[in-house]
Amino acid sequence: MGKVSPDATPEEEWQWAVDSMKQIYEHSQKAGVKLAVEPLNRFPQMMQEVLVARVRAAEEAQEACKRALRSKAQALAYLADTRRKMRRIFGPFPRGGGRALGRAESL
């Protein structure tokens, strides 16, 4: 707490955070523990800035892909690729239109 100067570049610090969270996640899975992340000190702003920058870059790339579409076949291929990526990220669509699985618990 109270630290104002970084130890490394934002990219390096982000990678440290990612690597640490992977280790924590693996351990929590083995121990059967659910994780909650609460950013502290200067990291909330840094994390927000990094995430916002990544979202903006992804949106710009997506818009460039859409602008490059010249035919119906290309548009259908783009749509199929987007759906494939969504299934890979979120898993299969739920049967029966989905349902609530539970509620968040407070610590």
For 55-101, how does the pLDDT look when each residue is reduced to its tens digit (9 = 90+)?
A: 999 999 999 999 999 999 999 999 999 989 888 888 877 666 556 66
pLDDT of residue 81: 93
CB 46 within 8 A of CB 13: yes
Nearest by Cα to 101 from 31, 25, 91:
91
Domain boundary assignment for the chain: 8-37, 41-90
pLDDT of residue 105: 64
Amino acid identity, position 28: S
pLDDT of residue 18: 86
Nearest by Cα to 78 from 90, 66, 95, 92:
66
